[in-house]
Chain A
Amino acid sequence: MNWHQICDIELLLPEYGVPALIGEHPVAVFRTHDDELYAIGNVDPFCGAGVMSRGIVGDRGGEPTVASPMLKQVFSLRTGECLDDPGARLPVFPVRRRETVVEVALP
Chain B
Amino acid sequence: MTRTLVVVGHGMVGHRLVETLRDRDEANAWRIVVLGEEPRPAYDRVGLSSYLDGKSAEDLSLTGQDVLDDPMVDLRLNAAVTGVDTGARAVTLDSGESLTYDALVLATGSKPFVPPVPGHQLPGAFVYRTIDDLDAIREAATEGRDGVVIGGGLLGLEAANALRLLGMRPHVVEMAPRLMPLQVDEGGGQVLRGLVEELGLTIHAGAATQSLDGEERVTGVTLADGTVIDTDLVVFSAGVRPRDELAEIAGVARGERGGFLVDDACRTSVEGVWAIGECAAVEGRCYGLVAPGYAMAEGVADQLLELGEGTFPGADMSTKLKLLGVDVASFGDAHGTTEGALEVVYANNAAGTYAKLVLSDDARVLLGGVLVGDASAYAVLRPLVDRELPAPPEQLLLPAGSGVDSGALPDDATVCSCNNVTKGEITCAIAEHGLADVPEVKSCTKAGTSCGSCVPMLKTLLNECGVVTSKALCEHFTQSRAELFEIAQATGIGSFSELIAKHGSGRGCDICKPAVASILASLGNGHILEGEQASLQDTNDRFLANIQRNGTYSVVPRVPGGEITPEKLIVLGEVAKEFGLYTKITGGQRIDLFGARVEQLPEIWKKLVDAGFESGHAYGKALRTVKSCVGNDWCRYGVQDSVSMAIRLELRYRGLRSPHKLKSAVSGCARECAEARGKDFGVIATDKGWNLYVGGNGGFTPRHAELLAADLDDERLIQLIDRFLMFYVRTADRLQRTSAWVESLDGGLEHLKEVVVEDSLGIAEELEAAMQRHVDTYSDEWAGVLSDPGKLSRFVSFVNAPDAPDPTIRFIEERGQIRPGPVSLPMPEIVAPKQEVRS
| Residues of A participating in the B interface, judged by any CB pair closer than 8 Å | 4-7, 11, 13-16, 18-22, 24, 26, 29, 32-33, 41, 43, 45, 47-51, 54-62, 64-65, 67, 69-70, 72, 74, 85-91
Contacts and interface: CB of A to CB of B under 8 A. Distances in A.
Contacts of A20: 798-801
B806 interface: yes
Contact of A87 (B476, B536, B831): B831
B509 A59 contact: yes
A56 B539 CA distance: 8
B507, B537, B823: residue with the most chain A Cβ atoms closer than 10 Å:
B507
Contacts of B800: 4-7, 20-22
17 contacts: A11-B799, A13-B532, A26-B798, A33-B507, A43-B828, A49-B551, A56-B513, A56-B514, A56-B536, A58-B476, A58-B510, A58-B513, A69-B538, A69-B539, A87-B830, A87-B833, A88-B831
Best-buried of B542, B807, B808, B834 by chain A (most CB within 10 Å): B808
A69 B509 CA distance: 12
B793 interface: yes
B798 A65 contact: no
**Residue of A21, A72, A86, A89 most packed against chain B (CB within 10 A):** A21
A41 B829 CA distance: 11
A48 B510 contact: no
B808 A67 contact: no
B830 A45 contact: yes
B321 interface: no
A59 B506 contact: yes
Interface string B492-531: 0000010000000011111011100000000000000000
B400 interface: no
Contact of A54 (B514, B542, B829, B833): B542
B827 A59 contact: no
Residue from B532, B539, B543, B823 having most chain A Cβ neighbours under 10 A: B539
A26 B475 contact: no
Nearest to A29: B799
A87 B834 contact: yes
B551 A50 contact: yes
Interface in B799-839: 799-801, 804, 806-809, 823, 825, 827-834
Contacts of A62: 506
Interface residues of B, number: 47
* Most chain B CB atoms below 10 A, which of A48, A65, A87: A48
Given A6-B799, A18-B799, A88-B830, A59 B549 contact: no
Contact of B825 (A11, A21, A43, A55): A43
Contact of A48 (B475, B823, B833): B823
B276 interface: no
B550 interface: yes
A47 B808 CA distance: 11
Contacts of A29: 799
B544 interface: no
Given A13-B534, A19-B797, A47-B823, 18 more contacts: A6-B799, A6-B800, A11-B793, A15-B535, A19-B796, A19-B799, A21-B804, A33-B507, A41-B828, A43-B825, A43-B828, A48-B825, A49-B808, A49-B809, A50-B551, A51-B551, A65-B509, A86-B834
Contacts of B827: 43, 45, 48
A54 B537 CA distance: 10
Contacts of A57: 507, 535
B510 A54 contact: no
A64 B509 CA distance: 10
A86 B830 CA distance: 10
Contacts of A56: 509-510, 513-514, 535-538
A91 B543 CA distance: 25
B828 A24 contact: no
Contact of A70 (B537, B543, B549, B798): B549
Nearest to A16: B535
A85 B832 CA distance: 10
B475 A60 contact: yes
Contact of B507 (A16, A41, A54, A59): A59
Contacts of A4: 800
B359 interface: no
A16 B828 CA distance: 23
Given A48-B823, A49-B549, A26 B833 contact: no
B829 A89 contact: yes
A21 B506 contact: no
B547 interface: yes
A72 B538 CA distance: 10
B543 A54 contact: yes
Closest 5 CB pairs of A and B: A48-B823, A69-B539, A49-B551, A87-B833, A67-B510
Given A11-B793, A56-B513, A91 B828 contact: yes
Nearest to B550: A49
Nearest to B824: A48
Nearest to A49: B551
B213 to A, nearest CB: 74
Contacts of A47: 549, 823
Interface in B467-511: 475-476, 497, 506-510
Contact of A90 (B801, B804, B828): B828
A50 B536 CA distance: 20
Contacts of B510: 55-56, 58, 67, 72, 74
A61 B800 CA distance: 33
Contacts of A13: 532, 534-535
A99 B403 CA distance: 67
B542 A58 contact: no
A50 B535 CA distance: 18
A57 B536 CA distance: 8
A6 B801 CA distance: 9
Contact of A51 (B506, B514, B547, B798): B547
A47 B830 CA distance: 11
Given A58-B510, A59-B508, A21 B833 contact: no
Contact of B808 (A14, A16, A26, A65): A26
